Each structure stands twice: as C-alpha cells, then as structure tokens.
C-alpha cells in the first residue's frame, strides 16, 4: 500500500509539548554504507536553545521508532538537500503500509527548521521505520536557485551531500 503526500500542514500543538520529545541518538540509526559525514555540530537546538548536533540520515540508512501513542513527528531541517522520505508502519503481517513524504517545496533553496507529522493512528504500541529515498526533486521546483556557498562548496563536509534527512528530536503524541 502506498500513500504519497507533500510536506504536511502545520501539526497539532500536542506534538510541541516538551514531555513528548525524545532526542535522537546516533546509535538509533540502522546504518547503510558510509557515504558522507553523519553529523553537523555547532548548531542550536530548536526546542531548548542549547548547543546541539544534527544527525544526518542518507539513502540506505534507516531509523526504527518504537513508541506508545497516537502520533509521531520529527524535528527536522528542510532545504536544498531535502528529498523524499519513506515512512513504513511495521506490523506482524507481511503487508507493511508505507507513505512517501516529499520534504522539498518551493522554499527549499534555503534551510529552515520545522516539525513534520509522519504518522497518526489509534493509540497503542507502534513500530515505525523512517528511510530517506535516493532521489532529489528537480531544482526547477525551487522559487529561486540555491546560492548558499556552504552547500555549493560542501563546507562543512557533508553539508552539500544530498539527499539526506536531518534529525534531532522525535515527538510522540499520546
């Protein structure tokens, strides 16, 4: 089963409560081949304002989220390196349901932090896998060309590697 959607509408404020946030850790990732650096240090956490590190997932990587609740969202950064992500609801049956979410919109010629709702359903225990897809949207989709020299010159290393998914927090709605 496949659903396809673009960046979801602004999410339920319930995802923004501090008690629902869980920090992603590097060991949460199911690694694919190492094709570029996996972290960006020296940024500020959008939830706490403290110094923080983004975790990058590249195609071939995945992250498994096991939680009890009714919804799942991520704190992410969308920009010129954003592509599509696959959200897989892992069940006991063989027909796992998945959705493709396109993280790129016309404003992705620059980076911005956002909270994106990935999954909602009935309350209970769930197992969701998040995987970046290998394709990038055409640059013609952007309102104007990407001009950020950090992205164009890949400085710091890995910033210009696309596509990738930026992760910092997992938000669970109970």
Which pLDDT score is estimated for 37?
A: 57
The tens place of each residue's pLDDT in the chain, 174 residues long, gives 334 444 444 444 555 555 577 777 766 777 666 655 566 767 777 777 788 888 888 888 898 888 888 888 888 888 888 888 999 988 766 567 888 988 888 888 888 888 888 888 889 998 899 999 988 777 777 788 888 787 777 777 777 777 889 888 888 887
For 17, what's the count of Cα atoms within 13 Å in the CB-facing half-sphere? Answer: 11
Which pLDDT score is estimated for 86?
A: 92
Which pLDDT score is estimated for 108?
A: 83
Which pLDDT score is estimated for 33?
A: 61
Which pLDDT score is estimated for 2?
A: 38
Q: What pTM did the predictor assign? A: 0.78
Which pLDDT score is estimated for 131?
A: 92
The pair of structure tokens assigned to 50 is 């403290």
């Amino acid at each position: 089963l496949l659903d396809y959607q673009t960046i979801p509408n602004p999410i339920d404020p319930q995802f923004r409560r501090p008690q629902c946030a869980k920090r992603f850790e590097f060991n949460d990732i199911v690694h694919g081949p190492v094709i570029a650096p996996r972290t960006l240090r020296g940024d500020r956490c959008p939830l706490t304002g403290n110094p923080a590190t983004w975790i990058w997932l590249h195609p071939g990587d995945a992250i498994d989220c096991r939680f009890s609740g009714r919804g799942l969202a991520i704190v992410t950064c969308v920009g010129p390196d954003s592509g599509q992500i696959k959200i897989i609801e892992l069940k006991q049956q063989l027909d796992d349901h998945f959705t493709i979410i396109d993280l790129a919109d016309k404003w992705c010629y620059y980076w911005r932090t956002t909270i994106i709702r990935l999954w909602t359903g009935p309350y209970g225990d769930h197992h969701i896998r998040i995987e970046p897809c290998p394709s990038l949207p055409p640059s013609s989709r952007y309102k104007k060309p990407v001009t950020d020299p950090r992205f164009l010159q890949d400085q710091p290393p890995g910033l210009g590697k696309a596509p990738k998914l930026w992760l910092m927090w997992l938000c669970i709605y109970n």
